Amino acid sequence: MKHVEQVRILKRLQTLHKQQLHQEMVGETVFLEVDRYYRDDILRLEEETVFHDYPLVVGHVSQIPRKGDYFICDWKKLPVVVVRGHDDTVRAFFNVCRHRGARLADDPTGNLKLFVCPYHGWSYDLDGKLRNITKKECFPGVNPCEHNLVELPTEVDFGLIWIHPGSTQMFSPREYLGPFAEDLDSFGIAELVSYKKVESVKTANWKLLIKTYLEGYHVPFLHKDTLAAAFRKGVLCYDEHDRHIRLAAARTNFEHVAKIPEDEWNILDYASVYYSFFPNCFFIMHPDYVSLSMFWPLSPDETLWTHNMLYQPDRFKGEKGQAALEKRFRFTNDVVFDQEDFAISEGIQSSLRSRANRTHILGLEEGLLVRFQHNIDTAMAGEKVRAAD
pLDDT tens string for the chain (389 positions)?
A: 889 999 999 999 999 999 999 999 999 999 999 999 999 999 999 999 999 999 999 999 999 999 999 999 999 999 999 999 999 999 999 999 999 999 999 999 999 999 999 999 999 999 999 999 999 999 999 999 999 999 999 999 999 999 999 988 889 999 999 999 999 999 999 999 999 999 999 999 999 999 999 999 999 999 999 999 999 888 999 999 999 999 999 999 998 998 999 999 999 999 999 999 999 999 999 888 999 999 999 999 999 999 999 999 989 999 999 999 999 999 999 999 999 999 999 999 999 999 899 999 999 999 999 999 999 999 999 876 544 33
Handedness of CA 189, 193, 196, 197 (dihedral sign): positive
What does the pLDDT read at residue 389?
Answer: 37
The greatest distance separating any two alpha carbons of the chain, rounded to the nearest whole angstrom, comes to: 79
Question: Which long-range contacts link 263-268 to residues 24+ away (Cβ below 8 Å)?
Answer: 263/3, 265/3, 265/6, 265/7, 265/10, 266/6, 267/1, 267/6, 267/9, 267/10
What torsion do the CA atoms of 209, 213, 218, 222 make, to the nearest 10 degrees?
Answer: 60
Please give the CATH superfamily to which domain 3-52+180-380 belongs.
Answer: Naphthalene 1,2-dioxygenase Alpha Subunit; Chain A, domain 1 (3.90.380.10)
**What predicted TM-score, i.e. pTM, was given to this entire model?**
0.92
Question: Cα(300)–Cα(207) distance, rounded to whole angstroms?
Answer: 10
* Residue spans in the chain of domains classed CATH 2.102.10.10: 56-170
Question: Which long-range contacts link 359-364 to residues 24+ away (Cβ below 8 Å)?
Answer: 359/31, 359/32, 359/33, 359/34, 360/31, 360/32, 360/34, 361/29, 361/30, 361/31, 362/29, 362/30, 362/31, 362/32, 363/29, 363/217, 364/22, 364/24, 364/25, 364/26, 364/27, 364/28, 364/29
What does the pLDDT read at residue 384?
Answer: 65
Rg of the chain over Cα atoms, rounded to whole angstroms, equals 22
* Residue spans in the chain of domains classed CATH 3.90.380.10: 3-52+180-380
What does the pLDDT read at residue 385?
Answer: 54
What 3-state DSSP class applies to 380?
helix
What does the pLDDT read at residue 31?
Answer: 97
Q: Decide the pairing of beta strands 123-124 and 115-116.
A: antiparallel
Considering the segment(s) 56-170 as one domain, its CATH architecture is 3-layer Sandwich (2.102)
The number of CA neighbours under 13 Å toward the Cβ of 269 is 12
Determine contact, residues 145/161, Cβ cutoff 8 Å.
no
Q: Other C-beta atoms within 10 Å of 39: how many?
A: 14
